[in-house]
């Protein structure tokens, strides 16, 4: 199959977006009953549930740390989440992404506040259409906040891609597959700190810098949606205050 056209004569992308446009995003906090904290996120066709359990006793016991808590993270894609059924069980990619997500989230979780305990974070991709690691981190931070896990900030993330020489925000699966590069970025906005930065493909230094600026601007919007989702979950209605 010849390479499809990714940017049309009007400078628009395959799904009609401008290069700096995010896909429609929906978030909801507190969506699962059997977890201590949970969140759901939709970014275009990507759909993910995040669930948090803990803090609880560490199992297996030898992983327990005397002075701080342990974060455990599992990123998993449902077999039906992709076009070609993904093999059952954890693939190498999922094991790697579990580690990447944990390392990003560890930068904001105050582990010293729960020594000898562990917190499990589950990221379940129900439908994948690009950007699952970034949407997964965004949802996981909401689930951690919902579980009341002490944190210095909430992480927000998106990916910048390069297609036909143009930098594009929040790439979808098609652009990821046929484009030249994919750069996931996760930020702790209050701390002004980049907690995850990867680059798959090739970009010049100038493109990376511009891409980071695009991602930072988008992350402000993503954070607003996260804060709104948390407020919807925890808003106390005036009647509730009076009762």
Q: Which residues bind ligand ADP (CB under 6 A)?
A: 82-84, 86, 128-133, 173, 176, 182, 184
Q: Nearest distance from residue 237's CB to ligand ADP, in Å?
A: 38
Contacts of 210 (CB under 8 A, 6+ apart): 167
Q: Which is nearer to ligand ADP, 14 or 58 (CB)?
A: 14
Q: What is the chain's Cα-based Rg?
A: 19
Distances (CA, A) of 198 to 100, 121, 156, 161: 10, 21, 15, 11
Q: Taking the CB of residue 205, how many other CB atoms lie within 10 A of it?
A: 7
Shortest reach from residue 1's CB to ligand ADP, in Å: 16
Residue closer to ligand ADP (CB basis): 116 or 174: 174
Nearer to ligand ADP, 51 or 130 (CB): 130
CA 28 vs. chain centroid, Å, equals 14
Q: In the bound complex, what is the minimum distance in angstroms from residue 114's beta carbon to ligand ADP?
A: 29
What minimum distance in Å lies between the beta carbon of 230 and ligand ADP?
Answer: 23
The smaller minimum CB distance to ligand ADP, of residues 127 and 227, is found at 127
- Give 70 or 73: the residue with its C-beta nearer to ligand ADP: 73
- Shortest Cβ 186–ligand ADP spacing (Å): 11
Number of alpha carbons in the 13 Å side-chain half-sphere of residue 143 = 33
What distance, in Å, lies between the first and last C-alpha atoms of the chain?
66
Q: Is 164 left (phi over 0), alpha (psi -120 to 50) or beta?
A: left
Identify which of residues 45 and 150 has a Cβ nearer to ligand ADP in the complex: 45
CB 134 within 8 A of CB 182: no
- The DSSP H or E segment spanning 228 is helix 205-234
Query: What minimum distance in Å lies between the beta carbon of 100 and ligand ADP?
Result: 9
């Amino acid at each position: 199959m010849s390479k499809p056209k990714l940017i049309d004569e009007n400078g628009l992308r395959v799904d009609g977006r401008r290069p700096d446009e995010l896909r429609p995003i929906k978030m909801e906090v507190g969506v699962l009953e059997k977890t201590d904290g949970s969140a759901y996120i939709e970014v275009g066709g990507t759909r993910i549930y995040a669930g948090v359990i803990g803090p609880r006793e560490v199992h297996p016991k030898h992983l327990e740390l005397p002075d701080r808590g342990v974060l455990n993270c599992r990123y998993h894609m449902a077999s039906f989440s992709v076009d070609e059924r993904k093999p059952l069980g954890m693939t190498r990619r999922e094991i790697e992404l579990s580690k990447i997500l944990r390392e990003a989230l560890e930068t904001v979780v105050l582990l010293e506040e729960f020594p000898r305990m562990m917190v499990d974070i589950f990221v379940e991709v129900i439908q994948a259409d690009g950007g699952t690691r970034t949407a997964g981190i965004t949802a996981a931070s909401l689930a951690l906040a919902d579980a009341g896990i002490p944190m210095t900030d909430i992480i927000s993330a998106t990916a910048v891609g390069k297609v036909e020489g143009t930098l594009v925000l929040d790439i979808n699966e098609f652009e990821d597959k046929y484009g030249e590069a994919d750069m996931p970025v996760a930020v702790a906005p209050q701390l002004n700190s980049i907690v995850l930065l990867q680059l798959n493909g090739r970009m010049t230094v100038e493109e990376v810098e511009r891409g980071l600026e695009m991602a930072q601007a988008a992350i402000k919007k993503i954070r607003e949606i996260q804060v709104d989702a948390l407020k919807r979950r925890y808003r106390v209605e005036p009647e509730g205050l009076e009762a």
